[in-house]
Amino acid sequence: MSVSPLTDTQLHQYRTEGYVHLGLVMDEATLEAIREEEQGFRNRKLRADPALANQTVFASQVCHYAPAVRNFCTHGPHLSVVKQLVGADVALWFNQFVTKNPDADTGRSEFPWHQDNGYVAIDPPTNVTVWIALDDVDENNGCVYVLPRSHEKGLLDHRRKSEDNWHLTVPVEGEGVPAVLKAGEAVAFTGLTLHRSKLNHTDRPRRAFFIEYAEAGARYGRTDEAWQPVVDSPNTWVVAGAAPLPEDF
Ligand SMILES: O=C(O)CCC(=O)C(=O)O
């Protein structure tokens, strides 16, 4: 399958609003293969911690272990559009399954407002997150909400949600816009776009997979660390173009 190039209007929306819908990016066979890989990670995690059955299950940097995911992240039909958003030199920088189990409305499956760069900053912040629904998602089962134009605020100061919760967050007023998607469809947003997801009120898991791509020449940094080239991170792979050679190569 192929993904239609973004029109000038869509590119303008991404630049001004901080997000854009990409439409269908995964065909049925890929979707099935990736769902099967997700199930494998989830089963393993649930065996280790049965309490996750009514919380969100995360499986990060799964490319090494999951060939269908790896093939999609490095050769998927969405990459042409990613190049439109990031530029010719693109590094696959992060990938993660996020499976929001029904939590019986206890609040444990909420993912609070944050910018992806609030966890690990990227410089320049031209990175994009491609968030792909593996199930149909809407307001009832915990779709992602984006806050239009929030990327214009720059990198915000994120704090732990609470002492016993590892999520980082910032105070936000407003609801945001729900990204209602069919399985296999994606929304793309910038590393500075505030987003969140609410509870899964259904009785079935809400499965999603997201990928972050950065400029291959970008640097990454956590608050207490010096900037490092993105390509020096062990999980990074350049999927288009090339990274610039460092001075001391
Ligand atoms: O998939 C979700 O519910 C939100 C996940 C998210 O925003 C993240 O992991 O950064």
150-159 pLDDT, tens digit per residue, is 999 999 998 9
* Reported confidence tier of residue 39, pLDDT bands at 50, 70, 90: very high
Assign 3-class secondary structure to the chain: CCCCCCCHHHHHHHHHHCEEEEEECCCHHHHHHHHHHHHHHHHHHHHHCHHHHHCEEEEECHHHCCHHHHHHHHHCCCHHHHHHHHCCCEEEEEEEEEEECCCCCCCCCCEEEECHHHCCEEECCCCEEEEEECCCECCCCCCEEECCCHHHHCCCCCEEEECCEEEEECCCCCCCEECCECCCEEEEEECCCCEEECCCCCCCCEEEEEEEEEECCCEEECCCCCCEEHHHCCCCEEEECCCCCCCCC
Statement: residue 244 has pLDDT above 80: yes
> For atom 7 of ligand 1, which residue has the closest CA?
196
- Which residue has a Cα nearest atom 2 of ligand 1? 197
Q: Is the pLDDT of residue 176 over 90?
A: yes
Name the pLDDT band for 163 (thresholds 50, 70, 90).
confident
> Each residue of 225-234: pLDDT tens digit?
789 999 999 9
Q: Ligand 1: which atom is nearest the Cα of residue 98?
A: 1
Q: Cα–Cα distance between 101 and 28 in angstroms, integer?
A: 23
Q: How far is CA 25 from the centre of its chain?
A: 14
* 1-15, 113-127, 224-238: segment of lowest average pLDDT: 224-238
Q: Quick one: pLDDT at residue 104?
A: 75
Q: What is the pLDDT of residue 207?
A: 98
197 CA distance to ligand 1 centroid (A)? 7
Q: In this model, does residue 201 exceed pLDDT 80? A: yes
- Residue to substitute in 93, 189, 197, 202 for testing ligand 1 pocket (most ligand atoms within 8 angstroms of CB): 197
- When pLDDT is averaged across residues 166-177 and rounded to a whole number, the result is 90
**If you search the block for the tokens 């089962």, which residue do you land on?**
141
The tokens of 198 are what? Answer: 């609410």
Give the whole-number percent of the chain exceeding pLDDT 90: 85
Q: How far is the CA of 82 from the centre of ligand 1 (A)?
A: 19
Residue 164 in this model has a pLDDT that exceeds 80 = no
Percent of the chain exceeding pLDDT 70 equals 99
For ligand 1, atom 9, the nearest C-alpha belongs to: 98
Could you report the per-residue pLDDT of 79-103, keeping only the tens digit for each? 999 999 999 999 999 999 999 999 8
Closest CA to 194 of 13, 69, 17: 17
Q: Is the pLDDT of residue 189 over 90?
A: yes
The pLDDT, as a whole number, for residue 4 is 94
- Name the residue of 195, 209, 211 to mutate for ligand 1: max ligand atoms within 8 A of Cβ: 195
Per-chain mean pLDDT for the chain: 95
How much distance in Å is there from the Cα of 44 to the middle of ligand 1?
A: 20
* First and final C-alpha spacing in the chain: 39
In angstroms, what is the span from residue 56 Cα to ligand 1's centroid? 10
Q: Ligand 1, residue 142: give the atom nearest the CA.
A: 3
**CB-based pocket (< 6 A), ligand 1:** 96, 98, 100, 111, 116, 142, 144, 195, 197, 208
Q: Which CATH number applies to 8-240?
A: 2.60.120.620
CA 248 / ligand 1 centre spacing (Å): 37
Mean pLDDT within 32-52: 96
Cα-to-centroid distance, 224 and ligand 1 (Å): 23
